[in-house]
A = this chain, B = another copy of it.
Amino acid sequence: MANPYHMTPDEFRTHGYEMVDWIADYLATIGERQIAPDVKPGDIRAMLPDHAPEAPEGFAAIMADLDQIVMPGITHWQSPGWFAFFPANSSPASILGEMASAGLGVQGMLWSTSPAATEVESVVLDWLVDLLGLPAHWKTTDRGGGVINSSTSDSTHLVLAVARHRAADRGPAEDMVAYASNQAHSSIERGARLAGYGQVRLIGVDDRYGMDHAQLRRQIAADRSSGLIPVAVTSAIGTTATTAVDPVRAVGEIAAENELWHHVDAAYAGNAMICPEFRVYQDGLELVDSYTFNAHKWLLTNFDCNILYVADRRPLIETLSTMPAYLQNAATESGAVIDYRDWHVSLGRRFRALKLWFVLRSYGAEGLRYLIRSHVALADELAARLGADPRFELVAPHPFALVCFRASAGNETTEALAAAINAAGDVAVTPMQLGDDAIIRVSVGQSYTEAEHVERLWNLIDTHTPAIQEES
């Protein structure tokens, strides 16, 4: 007797159509929604029962609660008025790829546990090596390779731990040092702490917020002479605060001289490299051991789709490989296949490459370049307006599509402006502190953001910023 609690395939078909309608309606109305919800801590919990239901509930009841309980607590990251943080791109093609992956429900931990899951992933990540102008030897067909992880924090922690493991014969982890600029993402400090490094050195930056490589060189020498063990350095291509670019080539040369693992965090800006005109910012990648970026930020692929490339896959595999009896199989023993469970901390893995494959084919390279270029042009235009207006100051270069500015009148005016913009409801920006300055980060990159949405943002900025008082 079949399990009576399962929906039949035909019931799934009916409810699947309903869910597709629900998503299509959401996508069609996303720009009309108030981005940030009006809820206080505990409000959503208070609408949910204290216990799971004992008996099954119908799909209509679940959908009603999705609308009435969950939706009032959703922050609408997919609104075209989303200029906060970095974007978390989604797209119809990617959602369809996610559906296929969920429907198949395969585990790609080994090649043999679903060969297509591994080979499609290797192929699309090899495609991206060419699309992004990355070093050819990073392909799985050469000595490197790419793998999909959840977030940049996972990839960065992983390579820092691998670098520490490989340096074990140089001394205790407590004496090991990881380096990055003082603008580096918090995942580096956190990843190094979790990986057991004794120290993380945050190196100073120049006036464009790029790492001062001369200072890096001096610090490494000083650490060596005080008995510490320099092990890893992370360069950023596009920092989180201002999308600053570290001098990858210079850092790479210092890393090579000092036998440091050189990791590059290009979480956001790596996506821009699909347009050749931005590749000036990734000069020196042949001097890199590992590199990570998020197709889920600005390449129309739903989270999670962090991508880690390694120039040489052996250190990763040597650190992570184990072969318990229940996973032994002929394909692995042949050495002819990739077993991705040796490439990350997770063992099981979803078929995440499917959504990326759907996106690359649905948009083509030209569609993705269009997206990046249109966002960068919109950001440039906004920056030009801000830069030409004495009420505002740009606080950093804007090589990609993030514009950071402040009100010339100072922090109070800037903070009030950010609050007023976000209070409008249909636009979201990130207020933050940069050094002593309150600034506003405007990240143009949500999948559906067009000129009209940046115009709306400009109007809010313009309306809510008082004229400069004339000095007489």
In the bound complex, CA of A371 to CA of B72 (Å): 33
- A62 smallest CB distance to B (angstroms): 5
A164 touches B196 (CB 8 A): yes
Copies of chain A in the complex: 2
Chosen A-B contacts, 20 in total, with CB atoms closer than 8 Å, are A2-B450, A13-B20, A15-B92, A19-B100, A37-B115, A43-B115, A44-B115, A44-B116, A44-B120, A52-B365, A54-B364, A57-B361, A74-B117, A77-B114, A78-B105, A98-B99, A98-B102, A161-B194, A186-B327, A194-B319
* Residues B74 and A104 in contact, CB atoms below 8 Å apart: yes
Bound complex: CA of A93 vs CA of B168, how far in Å? 48
Query: Which residue of the partner chain B has the closest CB to A107?
Result: B88
B127 touches A448 (CB 8 A): no
Which among A52, A56, A91, A337 has the highest number of chain B CB atoms within 10 Å?
Answer: A52
Interface flag for A207 (CB, 8 Å)? no
CA distance A327 to B348 in the complex (A): 30
Choose one: B71, B303, B319, B363; the contact of A193 (CB below 8 Å): B319
Q: Contact at A100–B22, with CB atoms within 8 Å?
A: yes
Chain A 37-59, CB-CB to B under 8 Å as 1, else 0, gives 10101111100100111111101
Residue A124 is within 8 A (CB to CB) of chain B in the complex: yes
Choose the segment among A25-33, A251-259, A281-289, A406-414 that binds chain B (4+ C-beta atoms closer than 8 Å): A25-33
Q: Check A304 against B52 for contact (C-beta < 8 Å).
A: no
Chain A, range 427-444, C-beta contacts under 8 Å to B: 430, 432-434, 441
Task: State which of A149-157, A218-226, A390-398, A456-464 sits at the interface with chain B.
Answer: A149-157
Q: Is A23 an interface residue (CB 8 A)?
A: yes
Question: A25: which B residues are within 8 A, CB to CB?
Answer: 9
Extra pairs beyond A39-B116, A74-B117, A191-B345 (10, CB < 8 Å):
A3-B448, A3-B450, A22-B103, A37-B115, A52-B364, A54-B364, A88-B105, A105-B302, A107-B303, A328-B432
Q: Give the docked Cα–Cα distance between A117 and B70 (Å).
A: 8
A240 to chain B, nearest CB (A): 6
Q: How far, in angstroms, from A152 to B70 measured CA to CA in the complex? A: 28
Q: Which residues of B contact A136 (CB under 8 A)?
A: none
For the complex formed, measure the closest distance between the CB of A406 and the CB atoms of chain B, giving whole angstroms.
14
Rounded to whole angstroms, the CA-CA distance of A85 and B324 in the bound complex is 12
Counting CB contacts under 8 A, is A468 at the interface? no
B-side contacts of A124, CB under 8 Å: 52
Within 8 A of B (CB), among A67-83: 69-78
From residue A423, how far is it (CB to closest CB) to chain B in Å? Answer: 14
Give A242 Cβ to nearest chain B Cβ, in Å. Answer: 10
- A205 CB within 8 Å of chain B: no
Q: What is the chain B residue whose CB lies nearest that of A358?
A: B62
Bound state CA distance, A53 and B447, in angstroms?
20
Given A196-B196, A365-B53, A370-B3, CB of A9 within 8 Å of CB of B28: yes
**Which chain B residue lies CB-closest to A168?**
B174
Is the pair B53, A130 in contact by a Cβ cutoff of 8 Å?
no
Select one of B45, B162, B448 contacting A119, CB under 8 A: B45
User: Which 6 A-B pairs have CB atoms at the shortest separation, nearest pair first?
Assistant: A73-B116, A16-B20, A23-B103, A5-B367, A90-B105, A44-B119
Chain B nearest CB: distance from A255 CB in Å?
Answer: 22
**B41 close to A116 (CB less than 8 A):** no
Please give, as numbers and ranges, the residues of chain B lying within 8 Å of A174 by CB-CB distance.
Answer: 168, 172-173
Nearest residue (CB) in B for A45 is B119
Instruction: Identify the closest chain B residue to A5 (Cβ).
Output: B367
| Chain B CB within 10 Å, residue with most, of A72, A334, A367, A448 | A367
State the CA gap A296–B350 with chains docked (Å): 11
In the complex where A13-B21, A42-B119, A430-B326 touch, is A348 in contact with B150 (Cβ < 8 A)?
yes
**Is A314 positioned at the interface, with any CB of B under 8 Å from its CB?**
no
Q: A6-B91, A103-B26, A174-B173 are in contact. Are A336 and B41 (CB under 8 A)?
A: yes
**Minimum distance in angstroms from A17 CB to a CB of chain B:** 6
A190 contacts the other chain (CB 8 A):
yes
